[in-house]
A and B are shown apart, each in its own frame.
Chain A
Amino acid sequence: MSTPISRAVFLKVLAGCGIAAVAGKLALDAPYLKGSKEKIRCRMLGPSSKIGHRLRQAAGNEKVSGTQSTRVTIIGGGIAGLSAAWWLKKYGVNDFIILELEKEVGGNSASGSNPYGAFPWGAHYVPIPNTESLYVRQLFEELKIIQGYNAAGEPIYDELMLCHEPQDRLYKDGAFHEGLVPKRGLQTDESAEVARFFELMLSFRRATGSDGKQAFTIPLDLSSQDQNFIALDSISMSQWLNDNNFKCKPILWYVNYCCRDDYGSSTENVSAWAGIHYFAGRRGTAANSEPNAVLTWPQGNGFLVEKLKAPLKGCIRNNLMASAVKQKGNKVLTTCLHSDTNEYSAIESDFVIFAAPRYVAAHVIKDQKQPDTAHTHSNDFGLSYAPWMVANISLRQLPDSRGLAPAWDNVSYYSDSLGYVISNHQEISTRQKPTVITYYFPLSQMQPKAARQKLLQSTEEEWSRIIIEDLKGMHPNIEKDIISIDLWPWGHGLIRPSVGLIWGETRKRMKEAKGNILFAHSDMSGMSNFEEAQYHGVEAAKMVLEKLES
């Protein structure tokens, strides 16, 4: 399961993974897809690999053109980094710098837009937060996503952001049906198994451990440490399903779909604790919606990125990659490479919040005692990341389909992809016009390393063809409606909550600060989502604030 990352692969992947918002203006000079009767523009987007190569050439003692000082350096402008900045600013610390490798901040919540609308490149929704998700609620109150509370203390959400009906539809047996749980055409024993699964999940959702804490919470660090639940982390989800006598295809398909959706991995590669957390962790309620509703925006979580970014104008440095981070006395020196000028500069700060993916730290943070052994894997936890392909497909009109009308999330029972999300689902316009759908394809069928190679080596032609053929399974006539296909390969899309990662020793060590270097990223939870990323960002900021005061 652990995939040792060689330096060469690391650099390649680094070049292909740190994704940020892209100005997705339709490149009118993008080539047409060959072999199609229709004129479909397709192109592969993604960061230039030049930065990575430059780093490889200059991994030694590069000349630094100048040194700047600040109190806190935040490395990585994803949700964790932006949330750390949000918290620091809220508590009066304005002297910080956010280093972002890409042209835009956002990380996994990157988004883009074209003449037909805005769309996500990655994360595209946040479930309504649990009561214990304090930081999420606090942010949502500030952003007026929560507009107030009713007498029962339930939040009132902005209804333009609560996912509009119909939310999900599943293509099975020739037509679309409501919801993602296969319901139609099941044998009675299959239906009984589906019902039993949800009853079990409900009992997990309500369960409390011997320490009085809830068994599954968000953020997951607040969950009960009762061994009865923690032990679920030492077996895989597929093992758990088997042990609990879940055998029929519909339920196995559904659970596997959910694991691929949230973790980019099939049930074999996800711990049972993480697999169950997906169903048992969410217990958000609202005054004006069903429980467990989701909040979404046309540009996905890029909406939250824009809101978090807005007050941070002067603090964000784009196109800057931290190439080395070193503790120097009670200061931390960060060397950064400017991807546009290829020059190096340095930032000296009291603290560094390392909010980039955790595996990158192994290659960037230099050990004080062995300064030249950054690549010795002393810091490498053998983390496994799921590679993804995300495509934004502009369509002249929504494709014809049988059964339920187009929903926000549209999934096929027969596809290896996760289906697609309609980006303008939340719009209040009644116009019929071109729209963009965001298609998600986790490469969970292969080992991550092989998958990553396939992801990065296949051409836009090959990917476009794969995607069109897949979509034709749901919509036989879709090809004629496609205007363009923009592709974004995520080399290291999401961290995999592999067996033993969440409650084993690894994650404890990952979270340990190194001197004045603190770690903040959803990787520290072993699963990638908005709530966990924000939690670690805020927690790191809180620690910095504490130390600054003392």
Chain B
Amino acid sequence: MTYALLITAFVISTCGLIYELIAGTIASYLLGDSITQFSTVIGVYLFSMGIGSFLSKYVEKNIAFTFVQVELLVGVIGGCSATLLFLLFNQIDNFRILLYSLVAIIGILIGLEIPLLMRILQDRLDFKDLVSQVFTFDYVGALLASLLFPLVLVPYLGLIRTSFLFGLFNLGVAVWTIHLFRNELPYKNTLKSTAYLLIFALVCGFAFADKLMGIAEAATFQDPVIYSTSTPYQRIVLTGNSKDLRLFLNGNLQFSSRDEYRYHEALVHPAMASINAPKDILVLGGGDGLAVRELLKYPSVQTITLVDLDKEMTVLFKNQGMLTRLNQNSLNNSKVKVIINDAFIWLRTTPQKFDLAIIDFPDPSNYSLGKLYSDTFYKTLKNVLKPGGMVVVQSTSPFYAKNSFWCVDQTLRSVGFNTTPYHAYVPAFGDWGYVIGSLAPFKPASQTAYPAGLRYVSADTLPPMLCFAKDMLPTVSSVNKLNNQSLVHLFESEWGEYVDAH
């Protein structure tokens, strides 16, 4: 029986540490800044354990009974903690209150465990053996937990299943203890049936963790969802792990922080560096501020006007710590003016003229977006350019959707732009295409014109970007018009092939 109880110490300490790690991990996923999150979670947790230890002295009778109750509570609260944190993140205003309350409750309960266990064992062992053995098992359990968590549990089970699994271990301890003290415990049957009921509940939770994840939206994404919101225009979801931050709009990947510099350098610099001292720049779409970050590398720039439809998006990228670190706080720069409007409608009324317009719209996957790639749109765009001005258009993938890509090129040419199509390899997207439309023929810049510190685009890497292999050349040709929407039709059929293939 003594050894049975010592193994209990090992199990409960493992569980305790796992809950702490889960809380810390989810907090850093959801709130960012893992140092702060882990520090505060550990602090609150240890402090609460102290409270638990302190409270243990008020338990005088029926220590085993209290111990079983504590185990049941830890099992159910700790077991559901990950689910609660994920599900409630979007529902409540102050997530931190929920987080720290949960950590504190679990901490207090865990804090009660060891003192109670020691008092159960005090008659069976000498004090020095008692302390030595209980803490030995306790610390071994901690080591095991800290190794299992990152190496096995998170990769193979995920956070939600891990927390259910360890809740089950705690409940197992409760059942085990009920069995050991079957002759001394009051309300034995009630305790037993409660334990079995909770075990059933957690097993269900474990089995249907995918469904729960689906509710928390995390299932659709490879990485945990750390922020999500619905605006009138789109669903914004941010996912992240320690190395990568990803933005999804309506489920479509917009960038991955690991390689977005490739996409944005390729979008901005070939055109930008080729202009002599560009002053006034227009960005349509691109509310993430990442293209603006690249533009701000040119000291000649005086104004950047960014027009985006979705206010939430720009607010997010102006204020959220992780995101402003990524865009280097570009949207808060005094040269940048953010306008919330429909790009097409705004273009038709603005008196401003620009040296360069950067068009970073979502792909033409529906008819209303298709209008933003029409010849009528590009004609309107031409009117806001200064003499010798330029546009650059993100134009989907010339590999996956070659005819769509060349349709953008041809549409720009149809309204009188000289076009320079090029492409770049962005691992998160694949081979990605852009088209420069210029009023005068495009001349690639010399290396001195590029700002320092670029990691992808340079005078040397541009020439191969201008080359297109045979498998990227078009098989049909068409101009995208409001009254034919040929680009949307092409895009649907071309990307459809890849979607169907899955």
Which residues of A are in contact with B by a Cβ distance under 8 Å? 159-160, 162-167, 288-290, 293, 405, 428-433
- A164: chain B residues at CB < 8 Å are 367, 371, 482-483, 485
Q: Which residues of A contact B374 (CB under 8 A)?
A: 159
Contact A428–B371 (Cβ < 8 Å): yes
The answer, yes or no, to whether B376 is at the interface (CB within 8 Å) is yes
Q: A164-B367, A166-B367, A405-B367 are in contact. Are A430 and B483 (CB under 8 A)?
A: no
- Label chain B's interface by main secondary structure: helix
B334 CB, min distance to chain A CBs, angstroms: 29
CB pair A293–B345 under 8 Å, yes or no, is no
* A–B Cβ pairs within 8 angstroms, 16 of them: A164-B483, A165-B367, A165-B482, A165-B484, A165-B488, A288-B483, A289-B484, A293-B483, A428-B344, A428-B345, A429-B342, A430-B343, A430-B344, A431-B233, A431-B309, A432-B233
- Chain A residues contacting B376 (CB-CB under 8 Å) are 159-160
Residues of chain B within 8 A of A430, CB atoms compared: 233, 309, 342-344, 368-369, 371-372
Contact, CB under 8 Å: B483 / A162 = yes
A287 CB → nearest B CB, Å: 12
Chain B interface size band reads: 20 to 34
Q: B308-344 toward A: CB 8 Å interface, digit per residue (1/0)? A: 0100000000000000000000000000000000111
Least Cβ distance of A404 to chain B in Å? 10
B232 touching A432 by the CB < 8 A rule?
yes
> Assuming the A-B contacts A159-B375, A165-B367, are A431 and B483 also in contact, with contact meaning beta carbons closer than 8 angstroms in the complex?
no
User: Which A residue sits closest to B347, measured CB to CB?
Assistant: A428
Known contacts A430-B369, A430-B372, A431-B233: A159-B483 contact under CB 8 Å: yes
A163→B483 contact, CB < 8 A: yes
Alpha-carbon distance between A494 and B346 when the two chains are bound, in angstroms: 40
How far, in angstroms, from A545 to B359 measured CA to CA in the complex?
A: 55
CA gap between A431 and B366 in the complex, in Å: 12
Interchain CA distance A288-B483 in the complex, whole Å: 9
Q: Quick one: given A165-B367, A428-B371, are A159 and B482 in contact (CB under 8 Å)? A: yes
Given contacts A429-B345, A429-B368, A433-B232, 17 further A-B contacts (CB under 8 A): A159-B376, A159-B482, A160-B482, A164-B371, A164-B483, A165-B483, A166-B367, A167-B483, A289-B483, A290-B483, A290-B484, A405-B366, A405-B367, A429-B344, A430-B309, A430-B342, A432-B232
Complexed CA–CA distance, A289 and B486 (Å):
12
Q: Within the complex, what minimum Cβ distance (angstroms) separates A285 from chain B?
A: 14
Distance in angstroms from A157 CB to nearest chain B CB is 9
- Identity of the chain B residue whose Cβ is nearest the Cβ of A426 in the assembled complex: B482
Annotate B230-245 by CB proximity to A: 1 below 8 A, 0 otherwise: 0011000000000000
Contact of A431 among B342, B367, B370, B371 (CB under 8 A): B342
Instruction: Report if A288-B233 is in contact (Cβ < 8 Å); known contacts: A164-B371, A428-B371.
Output: no
Are the CB atoms of B367 and A162 closer together than 8 Å? no
Q: Which residues of B contact A160 (CB under 8 A)?
A: 376, 482
Q: How far is the CA of A430 from the CA of B310 in the complex (A)?
A: 11
Residues of B within 8 A of A290 (CB): 483-484
CB distance from B196 to the nearest CB of A (A): 43
B466 to chain A, nearest CB (A): 31
User: Does B481 reach chain A (CB closer than 8 Å)?
Assistant: yes
Contact status B345-A165, CB under 8 Å:
no
The distance from the CB of A289 to the nearest CB of chain B, in whole angstroms, is 5
